[in-house]
Amino acid sequence: MANGRRFDGKQKQLSFGAYPAVSLRDARARRDEAKVLLAAGFDPAERRRQDRVESDALSKHTFRVLGTEYLAKLEAEGRADSTVSSTKWLLEDFAYPALGDRPIAQIKPTEALELLKKVEGRGTFETARRLRGICSRVFRYAVSTQKAEIDPTHPLRGALIAPKTRHHSAIVEPTAIGALLRAIYDYQGNVLTAAGLKLAAFTFVRPGELRLMEWREIDQEGAVWSIPAERMKKRRPHKVPLARQALAVLDEIRPLTGKGRFVFPSLRSDDRGMSENTLNAALRRMGFDKGAMTSHGFRAMAATRLNEMGHWSVDAIERQLAHQDAKAIRRAYTHAAEYWDERLRMMQVWADYLDALRTAPAKHA
């Protein structure tokens, strides 16, 4: 149906659609809307064209598109690989399936809450909390780039269950350490997962540093793993002396992943590091529940046993753990050569100690 009206002294035809797709009632309602626009000095045809342009643009600005742009922004800013990887995981595994194809400007708080409550319903309170934060950052990015007007997750800040702060469980008693290591060496699952657990024990780095380990960071001849600052929690580069046992583990898996970027690539893609849950899931399958041991627990294990040995300075141990405060860092660098030599010896003795516990646990109980 068309209706002729004059705008700016010119006769124009305005089509409302074909009958019966557009009823007479709808056509009359649209005609009346056009009269109101004309009376206010607006061209109804031009307004409809602008509405179509805005609608087309709106359909292109989906949550997935803005999420991808936000990830690219993080990478361009040089954010830590662990930050980018974690953000990508939360978006791809949780947010995109529910919200990815929705125009970001049309997403309501109720939709976001439904997604978050679904994740929370699995008992993964920390994941739900982190997911809300990541979604909020994507929405705020959309607002700043004029693709949305509000962050619909902002009113939900008090809606989720606050996760309890938990200390990382760790096995520290020598006989139990030996049993754990035997379980790891007997593990019948993925060979890369077993290798990751072995290196976690020998190097006691943070899980995020281990799972994103790159082949280019390893000096095989010098027996040193150099972790760049952007991957470290304290944003300081960190060197890890590699004992003979650690080098042997790397030699074992080099034929499998040595031509790629990551020492431990994701099972889904060689372009991503191992999932943050892989090592913990393997420990669960071996029979070590989360109250007994976690992948982060290898750090507490090493810190406890090395301090109780009484052979090593506190500064050397803390420097190897890479969690000193600024004062301790300055003190450690004042005696850098001394601590480095001590750390070289300590890491080899530590690996030998673990081997001894694994092969003859009763003797070292």
Catalytic residue annotation: 206, 233, 296, 299, 323, 333
Class of residue 196 by CB neighbours under 10 A (exposed 0-12, middle 13-18, buried 19+): buried
Strand runs labelled E in 106-252: 218-219, 224-227, 238-241
* Sheet with 238-241, side-by-side order of all strands: 218-219, 224-227, 238-241
Q: Which residues pair with 199 in a beta bridge?
A: none
DSSP characters over 67-105: HHHHHHHHHHTT--HHHHHHHHHHIIIIIHHHHTTSBGG
Q: Which residues pair with 224 in a beta bridge?
A: 219, 241
Three-state DSSP class for residue 64: helix
Give me 256's structure tokens: 């499998």
Backbone angles phi, psi at 128, to 5 degrees: -60, -40
Give me 65's structure tokens: 């598109």
Report the C-alpha gap between 142 and 57 in whole angstroms. 13
Contacts of 156 (CB under 8 A, 6+ apart): 109, 112, 113, 116, 132
Backbone angles phi, psi at 312, to 5 degrees: -120, 145
Report the C-alpha gap between 316 and 313 in whole angstroms. 5
Write down how long the chain is: 365
Class of residue 333 by CB neighbours under 10 A (exposed 0-12, middle 13-18, buried 19+): exposed
Give the single-character DSSP code of 264.
S
| DSSP run (H or E) holding 5 | strand 2-7
